[in-house]
Structure 1
Amino acid sequence: MENIAVDKTTLCPSARPEPENSVVFGIISGTVAEPRVAYLKQSQVLTDELIAKASPITPGEIFRTAAPCAAKGCQHFDGQDCGLAMRVVEKLPAIAKDLPPCSIRRDCRWWKQEGKAACMRCSQVITDNYNASELAIEVATPTAH
């Protein structure tokens, strides 16, 4: 089994919500057609109790979570950069007028890699979006390395 290094100081803002490993930094709001992340002033550890309160909805439908970047263990990572962050910046329109408040920015992989351009698009990225547009699906689909 390959030993995959995880960058514990850099957070992936699009990580799957897993208890004990993730922090919630936003709540999904907006509409079904245009969901948006409402950022929390302070991130919260994702616990089994929070997940239970979300049931029967999946945590990814209502929480935006971050976890340590898996780097080479992630399908979006090309060995140096996050392809998802690049596609978000290249393909999604900027929707924020100002830099949104974000409790994980200091440690965020997208911020470190793409800067303000990623932040201006971040609130439209929803982990479990069952009504995703073709563009959102295209952006979320990993490219071959």
Structure 2
Amino acid sequence: MKDIAVDKTTLCPSARPEAEDSVVFGIISGTVAEPCVTYLKQPLPITDELIAKASPITPAEIFRTAAPCATKGCQHFDGQDCRLAMRIVEKLPPVAEELPPCSIRRDCRWWLQEGKAACMRCPQVITDNYNASEIAVEVATSAVG
């Protein structure tokens, strides 16, 4: 694993749309059973207008958003690494055959920490997924500690 400097430029690719300075970097496509992220060429700032376009569903059901990593303010951060990224790499199968065309990669905590292995699994990560598989739920909610 790479040693990552924690600063405002490191982005969490699984941030809530409500997070300060959040941007949309992907749109959820695919099916209910197999959702998939389609990446935008450039991230878009979250605006009230963009959130209104998501209505009546939550923005996190249709947008993948990133925001500056909250580090110690996040349940997944252990003081040095993102445990969510670690669990994604350990437990989820790759779904991409090549690196997705991601506009936040150079600043992405998952990429900086886990490299290509995280990117190959990223398209299946949906923040608000009400039809998540058992393994996806386990990855997202594993106990802190």
TM-score category by the smaller chain? over 0.9
Matched, 1:33 2:2: no
- Aligned-partner Cα distance in 2 for 1:143–1:19: 23
Task: In structure 1, list runs of 5 or more residues that go unmatched.
Answer: 1-5
- Aligned-partner Cα distance in 1 for 2:58–2:38: 17
Instruction: State the partner residue of 1:67.
Output: 67
Task: In structure 2, list runs of 5 or more residues that go unmatched.
Answer: 1-5
Instruction: Name the % identity.
Output: 83
Matches within 5 A, 1:91-110: 91-110=91-110
Q: Provide TM-score, normalisation by structure 1.
A: 0.93
Instruction: State the partner residue of 2:89.
Output: 89
Q: Provide TM-score, normalisation by structure 2.
A: 0.93
Query: 1:46-103, CA deviations, whole angstroms, 9 ceiling, x for partnerless residues?
Result: 1110000111110000000000000011000011000000000000001100111000
Count of aligned positions: 140
Query: Which ranges of 4 or more aligned residues in structure 1 deviate by more than 6 Å?
Result: none
Q: Judging changes above 3 Å, is the alpha-carbon distance between structure 1 residues 117 and 21 closer, same or farther for their aligned structure 2 residues?
A: same
- Cα RMSD between the aligned structures? 1.1
Which amino acid in structure 2 is aligned with residue 101 of structure 1?
P
Instruction: State the partner residue of 1:7.
Output: 7
